Amino acid sequence: MPKIIFSAPFLFYTPGYLNIEQKNMDYGKEFKNYAIKHQGISSTYYDSILTSMYPVGLTPNIIEERQMNAVAMDVFSRLMMDRIIFLGTGINDQVANIVQAQLLFLASTDASKDIQIYINSPGGSVYAGLGIYDTMQFISPDVATICTGMAASMGAVLLCAGEKGKRSGLTHSRVMIHQPMGGAQGQASDIEITAREILKLKSELYDIIAKHSGQSIEKVNEDSDRDYWMKAEEAQAYGMIDEILVREKA
């Protein structure tokens, strides 16, 4: 299978309501158990991927005070308690496995509450990204998307695929769309097969962007012929996001 890439060259804590059961749940531990038992992800594989996504030396631990004790956990596990997923890296199969498992886990804990995905990604594998996209569309909870920094390429596809009215970006965030790129080698027939697959993926990606942005497929096709960068205001006008997040000072 050829590798087809769709890519380009802080942290927020949002407090939310937690019931007693959720307060007493170690989301990091529970999610790891869910990923291993229900998603077929091995313990060693899980640890290696989490370390690559969130380097241990750079990931702070926090103390969560509870009724009878205090629990130390990494900050990303604490964010999961507020149903926040942080996609802050390139998208590959390993990253997609973890993000999809997080989505399914949060959907299983409460199918009625929104899930937020904070995106700061240059994009990556089309196949891996489409796996995340399909999972976002499949689960019952609404998935809100927030762009911090950059949502480029496959990251932009996931950004605009959030629930309508619940897609946002920070003031200086950037969004970029373009056509997928890939490579092939071998006999001429093999190269033709790969080229046809890339064109199919290109059509699918443009359909997704057009569907969620409200732009015509012709405009998406024209704009994506080369890197098409948008500031937050331009992304909002294009339909990639619905609002720009600005703190209202008292």
Give the tens place of pLDDT for each residue, 170-213. 999 999 999 998 888 899 999 999 999 999 999 999 999 999 99
pLDDT at residue number 1: 47
Rounded Cα–Cα distance for residues 132 and 135 (Å) = 5
**Taking 50 as the threshold, does the pLDDT of residue 10 lie above it?**
no
pLDDT at residue number 189: 94
Rounded Cα–Cα distance for residues 62 and 83 (Å) = 17
**Taking 60 as the threshold, does the pLDDT of residue 234 lie above it?**
yes
Among the listed residues 77, 153, 173, 224, the single catalytic one is 153
Parallel, antiparallel or unpaired: strands 115-121 and 123-125: unpaired
Tokens of 24: 């007493």
Rounded Cα–Cα distance for residues 147 and 30 (Å) = 27
Rounded Cα–Cα distance for residues 3 and 17 (Å) = 42
- How many domains are contained in the chain? 1
* 108 is a catalytic site residue: no
pLDDT at residue number 103: 97
pLDDT at residue number 63: 64
Range of the domain at 163: 83-242
**Taking 80 as the threshold, does the pLDDT of residue 77 lie above it?**
yes
Is the residue at 101 inside a domain? yes
Is the residue at 71 inside a domain? no
Q: What does the pLDDT average to over 18-30?
A: 51
Is the residue at 59 inside a domain? no
40 in the Ramachandran plot: left (φ > 0), alpha (ψ -120 to 50) or beta? left
Write the DSSP assignment of 160-225 as a string of letters. HTSPTT-EEEETT-EEEE---EE---SSHHHHHHHHHHHHHHHHHHHHHHHHHH---HHHHHHHTT
Tokens of 84: 């926040």
Is the residue at 51 inside a domain? no
Q: Residue 112 gets which letter from DSSP?
A: T
Are the beta carbons of 154 and 123 closer than 8 angstroms? yes
pLDDT band with cut points at 50, 70 and 90 for residue 20: very low
Is the residue at 149 inside a domain? yes
**Taking 70 as the threshold, does the pLDDT of residue 25 lie above it?**
no
Tokens of 169: 């970006």
| Cα-based distances in Å from 177 to 165, 169, 217, 229 | 20, 15, 13, 7
- Asked which of 5-19, 39-53, 80-94, 123-137 is least confident by mean pLDDT, the reply is 5-19
Is the residue at 52 inside a domain? no
Q: What is the pLDDT of residues 33-75, one digit of tens each?
A: 777 776 667 777 666 666 666 555 555 666 666 666 666 678 8
Paired with 144 in beta bridges are 116
Among the listed residues 7, 168, 173, 178, the single catalytic one is 178
* 112 is a catalytic site residue: no
pLDDT band with cut points at 50, 70 and 90 for residue 90: very high
User: Residue type at 50?
Assistant: L
Q: What is the pLDDT of residues 107-161, one digit of tens each?
A: 999 999 999 999 999 999 999 999 999 999 999 999 999 999 999 999 999 999 9
The residue that leads in pLDDT, 3 or 179, is: 179
Is the residue at 140 inside a domain? yes
Is the residue at 158 inside a domain? yes
pLDDT at residue number 220: 98
Q: Could you tell me the end-to-end alpha-carbon distance of the chain, in angstroms, rounded to an integer?
A: 55
CATH number for position 238: 3.90.226.10
**Taking 60 as the threshold, does the pLDDT of residue 15 lie above it?**
no
